[in-house]
Structure 1
Amino acid sequence: MDKNQSRLRRARKTRAKIAELKVVRLSVHRTNSHMYAQIIDATGGNVLASANTLEAGLRAEVKNGGSVAGATAVGKLIAERAKAAGIESVAFDRSGFQYHGRVKALADAAREAGLAF
C-alpha cells in the first residue's frame, strides 16, 4: 500500500464516522502548492462555504500558498464564511492527512476565529 492509498483509507474511516453522526464537516485538502477547505452539509451533497489559497485576496496576502501562513489565512477565511452562513460548529475532516503542520495551522486558525470543532 502506498502513501496515497493509506491516506485515502484513513479518510474513508473518518468520513464514515462523520456521516454516521450527521454533522456539518470542514474538509481540508493540501497539495505542495496550495491549501483548500470546504464546509459540507450533513448529507454530504452541498458545499456551504469554501476557501483556498488560489483566491485573489489570499494570493495578495500570502506569497506561498503551500506554507503555514497560507494555511492560517485559509483557516481564518473559512471560519468567517462559516459564520456568515450561520454555521457555529463542524466536524473536522482532515482527509487522512496527519494533524500536523499546515493541517493543524488551518484548524487552529479556524478555531481561534470562532468556529467550534
Structure 2
Amino acid sequence: MSLLDTNKKRVNRRKFRVRNKVRRVSFDRMRLCVCRSLKHISIQLIDDSKHMTVASASSVGMEMPEKVSGKIELAKLVGKDLAKKASELSVGPVFFDRGKYKYHGRVRALAEGLREGGLEF
C-alpha cells in the first residue's frame, strides 16, 4: 500500500468514528459541524431533530481586524462569533462534530473561541 492510501484510510476511520459518536449523542443536543479549507473555516449549528441549520459563522465574509495575524487567530474569532449568535438564541449544550479533522490547530482554536464565548459542549 502506498502512503496516500494509508492516509486516506486513517482519515476515513477517524471520520466514521466521530460520525458514530454524533449519532449516539446528538438526538437531544444540537450539533456544531466544522468545515475547513486551506484558506477559510466555517461552522454550522445544526438541529438534527428538525433537520435545519440554526446559525452559522464563517471566515469567508468576515471583517478581519488588523491585529489578526494568522488563520488560527481567525478561527478563534469565528468561534466567538458563533457563540454570540448561539447565546442570542439561548442554545443549551451542543455536540462538537469535528468531522474528519484532528482536534489540533485551527479546529482547537475554534473550540476555544466557542468556549470563551460561553458555549458548552
Q: How does 1:91-106 map to 2 (within 5 A)?
A: 91-106=95-110
Cα displacement string for residues 65-105 of structure 1 (whole angstroms, at most 9, x for unaligned residues): 97011101100011111111221211111112111111000
Alpha-carbon distance in 2 for matches of 1:69, 1:39: 21
Instruction: For residue 59 of structure 1, give the secondary structure of its aligned residue in structure 2.
Output: coil
Whichever residue aligns with residue 12 of structure 1, its letter is F
Corresponding residue pairs, total: 115
Per the alignment, residue 113 of structure 1 pairs with 117
Moved over 3 A (4+): 2-6, 62-66
- Please tell me the residue identity of whatever aligns with 2:90: G
Q: Residue 54 of structure 1: which of 51, 60, 73 is its match?
A: 60
Q: Which consecutive unaligned segments of at least 5 residues does structure 2 have?
A: none
TM-score (norm 2): 0.81
Q: After superposition, where does 1:1-117 map in structure 2 within 5 Å? A: 1=5, 3-4=7-8, 6-21=10-25, 22=27, 23-43=29-49, 45-55=51-61, 58-61=62-65, 67-117=71-121
Structure 1's unaligned 5+ residue stretches are none
Q: 1:37-74: CA deviations, max 9, x gaps?
A: 0111133721111000012xx23436989701110110
Give me the whole-angstrom Cα distance separating, in 2, the residues matched to 1:91 and 1:68: 21
User: Sequence identity, in percent?
Assistant: 35
RMSD value over aligned CA atoms? 2.4
TM-score normalised over the length of structure 1: 0.83
Structure number with larger C-alpha Rg:
2
